[in-house]
Amino acid sequence: MKEMLKFEDVELYYDNIYALKKVSINLMDGETIALIGANGAGKSSILRAITGLRRISAGSIYFLGERLDGRSPSEIVRMGIAMVPEGRRVFPFMSVKDNLLMGAFTRKDKAAIAKTLDSVLERFPRLRERFSQAAGTLSGGEQQMLVIARALMAKPRLLLLDEPSLGIAPKLVQDIARSIVAINRDEGVSVVLVEQNSRMALSISHRAYAMTTGNVVISGISKELLNDDRIKAAYLGGDM
């Protein structure tokens, strides 16, 4: 298995405040890793650095051996990286269909786009049922499915998910968790999952990094971390 993503001694500031302090993580091709921790720990800052939405001040980021930091967000999307941002950012007045097609804006192959559309509708049958509805009329869980499906329309090699369970009903959280596992397993898409629901994140990932205030404090195999007393005390106490 080759290394897909390498984050090496990365530092990132917001104004004069550290968001990331010499953070190093890596992701192997075909793997799902989870980034867990409280708000402000630096999890989402890692995603913003990967996607070029924030410029790092030190360190380096590599994707499939190519230097990533310093590239524009649009160039990074074309390299095969798609992000599902926190907050279910759908285009509310556009149909489910048009929201999905927006995800394929970097692609020109109409036949292949149609095939991808069929594939994501098969994975998320609720979206097929609501294909012509305005996205703003969907429930929170359905909107989350839509933004994940929209990201898949870009045919990414790497999918970045920022708090996909936030504000979602528990039953739909389970559906979304199963979808993430299936996307990784069946389509070979590598995943970086940012989650405050640490138990869910650890249960569906291969490895995990636990963060506090811009630092990685614990890392390891997810199944082992579920039984780690330090993780239980600091990260699993409030999870259902």
Question: What pLDDT sits at residue 91?
Answer: 92
Q: Which residue range is the domain that position 217 belongs to?
A: 1-79+196-240
For residue 1, what pLDDT is reported?
Answer: 77
Task: Report pLDDT for 108.
Answer: 87
Give the C-alpha separation, 77 to 88, whole Å.
19
Kindly state whether residue 208 falls inside one of the protein's structural domains. Answer: yes
Domain membership flag for residue 2: yes
Distance from C-alpha of 199 to C-alpha of 34, rounded to nearest angstrom: 10
Residue 237 lies in a domain: yes
Residue 239 confidence (pLDDT)? 44
pLDDT-based confidence at residue 240 (cuts at 50, 70, 90): very low
CB-based burial, 167-197: b 16+ in 10 Å, e otherwise: ebeeebbeebbebbeebbeeeebbbbbbbbb
pLDDT for res 170: 85
Which residues have C-beta within 8 Å of that of residue 36, sequence separation ≥ 6? Answer: 43, 195, 196, 198, 201, 202, 208, 209, 210, 211, 235
pLDDT tens-place string over residues 144-193? 999 999 999 999 999 999 999 888 888 888 889 999 999 999 999 999 99
pLDDT mean across residues, the chain: 92
Residue 55 falls within a domain, yes or no? Answer: yes
Give a yes or no: residue 211 inside a domain. Answer: yes
214, part of any domain: yes
Q: Does 215 map to a domain? A: yes
| Burial environment of residue 79 by CB neighbours within 10 A (0 to 12, 13 to 18, 19 or more) | middle
CATH number at residue 13: 3.40.50.300
Instruction: Give tens-digit pLDDT for 110-132.
Output: 999 999 999 999 999 999 999 99
Q: How confident is the model at residue 204 (pLDDT cuts 50, 70, 90)?
A: very high
Inform me whether the pLDDT recorded for 70 exceeds 60.
Answer: yes
- Compare 85 and 101 and report the one with higher pLDDT: 101
Domain annotation covers residue 49? yes
Q: Distance of CA 97 to CAs 137, 144, 153, 178, 180, Å?
A: 13, 15, 11, 23, 21
Q: What is the pLDDT of residue 87?
A: 75
Cβ-in-10-Å burial (0-12, 13-18, 19+) of 28 comes to: middle
Q: How confident is the model at residue 238 (pLDDT cuts 50, 70, 90)?
A: very low
Q: Please choose, from the candidates 58, 68, 53, 52, the residue with its C-alpha nearest in 3D space to the C-alpha of residue 23.
A: 58
Please tell me the total count of domains within the chain: 1
Please state, as a whole number, how many other Cβ atoms lie within 10 Å of the Cβ of residue 65: 9
What type of residue is 196?
Q
What is the pLDDT at residue 237?
65
Count Cα atoms within 13 angstroms, Cβ side, for 119: 17
Residue-wise pLDDT tens digits, 216-232: 999 999 999 999 999 98
